Amino acid sequence: MAKKLRGEFFILSANDLRTGEVVFLTEKGWSVNSSEATIIKIDQVDKFQAISDRDEKKCIIVSSKFVELDENRKIKSLRDKIRNSGLTFKI
Amino acid sequence: MYKYSEKDKSIIESRTKQFKNQVQRRLNGQLSEEEFKPLRLMNGLYLQLHAYMLRVAIPYGELSSSQLRKLAFIAEKFDRGYGHFTTRQNIQFNWPKLPDVPDILHELSKVEMHAIQTSGNCIRNISSDHLAGITIDEIEDPRPWCEIIRQWSTFHPEFSFLPRKFKIAVIGSKKDRAAMLVHDIGLRLIKKDKEIGFEVFVGGGQGRTPIIAKKIKNFLQKKDLLNYLEAILNTYNQEGRRDNIYKARIKILVKELGIEKFKLLVDENFKKLSDKNLEIDKVSIDKIFSFFTLPELKPNSHKVQIHKNKEYNEWVTQNTLSHKVSGYSIVHISLKSANHPPGDISSQQMMALSKISEDFSFSEIRVTHEQNLILPHVENKNIYKLWIELKKLSLATPNIGLISDTICCPGMDYCALATARSIPISQKISNHFKSFSDQKILGDLKIKISGCINACGHHHVGNIGILGLDRNGQEFYQITLGGSAKEDASIGEIVGPSFPESKLIDAINTILNTYKKNKKKKTEDFLSVFRRVGIKEFKKDLYDNT
């Protein structure tokens, strides 16, 4: 995963294995609140990848990914913004 | 309507139990995601952008009132109170929790439904004409043939791991209302010298390489249907590419070999299979046909009521068709009201519609590939009463076949593969063109929107197709013109550089103005004008002043 990453700062995201909900890694564990997510520098990616692998094995999360942040430390891509904020229209 | 045999029931029940065990093992850590993924996909369970998504098959688009009630119950109890009808006569639930999925499948099995083969590289849900068995223009009802193919293809051991997914559509009329020519195999019932058989088409599809299917057989006898399908599938299984996912569909094989060479290979396989016991005898065919009889309709001379209410008259004009039995109508229920995600329906609407189908349409509902619903047998004398009921549920939008009746995939709001959003675009269009009289001036016009090149929104065959693209992190929309999914199927031509979302409605307006100014008579529709004047005229108006 780390080899393909572009950018300098990231947060780590995944889906909760049981509920499928989008979650983010925080200092206290996985949370649905991205504002609490731990900011990860590119050179820390391997360390956090290990945490992700561990939690996948523990059946807490699935399908983890590093989400790139922009220069304001906000989520950069539209896809990840939608993933974080939910649908862009009313149901 | 087909009723499950004891064998069908035991197959579904055992699969449900099997999957319950697999989910348990996944949650306990006995199965990794890598091991579990193919198992969940075989049961229609995807992991999408926000959550799990369960795709449930509605074989050939036919639903009973009890099945619709069950779908409403599932949406309410296990999901977020709504479901989404897809472009292949399936329904998707977008928010199920993994531990609940076996319970959902168990609930579905109680009403003879399942999610098997709605994903993976296997033969998918067999789709058909949503007007099967009820229109006068039909040679023969295609639904029994869909059911015969469904039974043959379910858990077929040789075809569980094909090079790629495989889609079959069957129609029984000259008119194609099932996009049959963009399926891997398309079957059309035809009559030749008093005998009914099939015209067979192969290698159609959309995605990144859109192709209209080629005819491989002018006339196939009914008894040979399964042998011939098996011969095509065997040829594909042996010769199809597995080294490149983008070149693995049968359309690429047919294109690379050429239809004549492909036909020779199929014919060789067909000969080898001739002693195989797949010939269908008349008794078996008759048995399946016995499930698809019309309800007890009483022909009568009642005409559809005319009323002083303008809204009602608009709806009757646009959303009803004559049934083959006099005194009855086919009623379309649009799931495309302004600002509404195409194909979405709430659990309350499903529940109420289930009761309406019992009161007005012999408990039958149809699902169209254009993401609408149908009440197939409504007495003409009850049409106004029905309209009142549908209106209360916001299900009486009079726009079938008009510009706001867009087909649309879930796009980047839901889909992990999408490159742009499609539902907000569809909502913009339906909101912008919501006036019935304006839509009528434009006439028959299909806008189809996909959020990526996989083309689940069928943009290639839209009269106006819209494809969402990611250009350096920005959403852009490429427009194609002149596509058709009907019997005159064609792939749309790219009109030129793509547009940002902010300029898309203006671009569509320009295209429509070009159409209007080139229209020779009032009844000439968009596609006819496009085919007559060509893309240059549209291109010039769209780009020359920019």
Alpha-carbon distance A53 to nearest alpha carbon in chain B (angstroms): 11
- Dist. CA B230–CA B482, nearest whole Å: 34
Which residues, 6 or more positions from A58, have their beta carbon under 8 angstroms from its beta carbon? B29
Rounded CA separation B485/B275 (Å):
37
Question: Least CA distance to B32: which residue of chain A?
Answer: A57
Question: Are B368 and B89 contacting, i.e. CB atoms less than 8 angstroms apart?
Answer: yes
Strand order in the sheet with B52-57: B45-47, B52-57, B90-93, B82-85, B344-346
**Chain A interface, mutation test: which of B24, B40, B78, B98, most A Cβ atoms within 10 Å?**
B98
List of chain A residues whose C-beta atoms are within 8 Å of the C-beta of residue B418: 79
| B171, amino acid identity | I
Q: What is the rounded end-to-end Cα distance, in angstroms, of chain B?
A: 56
Task: Say if residue B522 is exposed, middle or buried (CB neighbours under 10 Å; 0-12, 13-18, 19+).
Answer: exposed
Q: Give the tens place of pLDDT for each residue, B229-271.
A: 999 999 999 999 999 999 999 999 999 999 999 999 999 999 9
Q: What is the 3-state secondary structure (H, E, C) of B354-383?
A: HHHHHHHCCCEEEECCCCCEEEEEEEHHHH
Option in B51, B412, B423 nearest A78 (CB): B412
Cα(A69)–Cα(A37) distance, integer angstroms: 11
A16-49: pLDDT as tens digits = 999 999 999 999 999 999 999 999 999 999 999 9
- CA–CA separation, A11 vs B173, rounded Å? 55
Strand partners, B158: none
Could you tell me which residues of chain A have a Cβ less than 8 Å from any Cβ in chain B?
Answer: 15, 17-22, 56-59, 62-63, 76-79, 82-83, 86-91
User: B47–A86: do the CB atoms touch at under 8 Å?
Assistant: no
The continuous run of DSSP H or E covering B217 comes out as strand B214-221
Tokens 């003879």 sit at which residue? B112
Partners of residue B412 in chain A, C-beta under 8 Å: 78-79, 82
The C-alpha atoms of residue B59 and residue B394 are separated, in whole angstroms, by 26
Q: Which residues of B191-215 are buried (b: 16+ CB within 10 A; e: fewer)?
A: eeeeeebbbbbbbbbbbebbbbbbe
**CB contact (8 A) between residue A20 and residue B97:** yes
Chain B residues touching A89 at Cβ < 8 A: 341, 413, 423-424, 427
**Ordered per-residue pLDDT tens for chain B, 546 residues:** 999 999 999 999 999 999 999 999 999 999 999 999 999 999 999 999 999 999 999 999 999 999 999 999 999 999 999 999 999 999 999 999 999 999 999 999 999 999 999 999 999 999 999 999 999 999 999 999 999 999 999 999 999 999 999 999 999 999 999 999 999 999 999 999 999 999 999 999 999 999 999 999 999 999 999 999 999 999 999 999 999 999 999 999 999 999 999 999 999 999 988 776 788 889 999 999 999 999 999 999 999 988 889 999 999 999 999 999 999 999 999 999 987 899 999 999 999 999 999 999 999 999 999 999 999 999 999 999 999 999 999 999 999 999 999 999 999 999 999 999 999 999 999 999 989 999 999 999 999 999 999 999 999 999 999 999 999 989 999 999 999 999 999 999 999 999 999 999 999 999 999 999 999 999 999 999 999 999 999 999 999 865
- Decide the pairing of beta strands B168-171 and B185-192: parallel
Contacting residues for B290 by C-beta, under 8 A, at least 6 apart: none
Cβ atoms of B47 and B116 closer than 8 Å: no
- Work out the widest C-alpha separation in chain B, in whole angstroms: 68
Contact by Cβ (8 Å): A52, B20: no
Residue A63: its chain B contacts at CB < 8 A?
33, 47
d(CA A3, CA B1): 54
| For chain A, percent of residues with pLDDT exceeding 70 | 97
pLDDT per position as a tens digit, B280-300: 889 999 999 999 999 999 999
CB A54 within 8 A of CB B29: no
Collect all residues of chain A within an 8 Å Cβ-Cβ radius of residue B28: 59
Per-residue DSSP letter, B397:
-
Instruction: Kindly report the nearest CA distance between residue A43 and chain B, in angstroms.
Output: 24
Q: Are B181 and B213 in contact (CB under 8 A)?
A: yes
- What residue ranges define each of the domains in chain B, with the CATH number in brackets? 6-110 (3.90.480.20), 135-290 (3.30.413.10), 310-392 (3.30.70.3340), 407-543 (3.30.413.10)
